[in-house]
Structure 1
């Protein structure tokens, strides 16, 4: 997260209003809910995990055992159970 000097991006009137509540502090201003993205959507990690989980589900449907899938995908048995059930 990068920090931006309020003097460079906010109108002077707004800065004066904010200074009534906080001065010389770091204030986090969150994104609006509509701009939030799910974890991994930018990096592609979410898609990789979704693809892996689909492979696990298909392998399970094709008769592979849970412990076999855990070994193959380097996950715990409990994690495999969460994915397939």
Structure 2
């Protein structure tokens, strides 16, 4: 996360208004919702995980054991159980 000095990016009038609520502290100003990107949406990481999880669920439905899937994907048996028994997908 990048920090900016308010004096360099905000008008003085706005700084005075903000100082009525907070002074000398770091505050986070979130992006507008239209500018927000979910985790992994730009890098492709989310899509990769979704595909991997779908493959795990498919393999389980077709007879692979939880133990085998945990070994094949280097995940814990609890993680595999959450994937295959959840009703989300």
State whether TM-score is above 0.5: yes
TM-score, normalized by length of structure 1?
Answer: 0.82
Matches for 1:41-80 after TM superposition, within 5 Å? 41-80=41-80
After TM superposition, give the deviation of residue 33 of structure 1 in Å. Answer: 4.3
Count of residues paired in the alignment: 85
**Cα distance in 2 for residues equivalent to 1:22 and 1:66:** 52
TM-score, normalized by length of structure 2?
Answer: 0.79
Match of 2:31 in 1: 31
> Structure 2: which 5+ residue stretches go unaligned?
none
1:21-55 Cα shifts (integer Å, max 9, x gaps): 33333222123445433222222221111111011
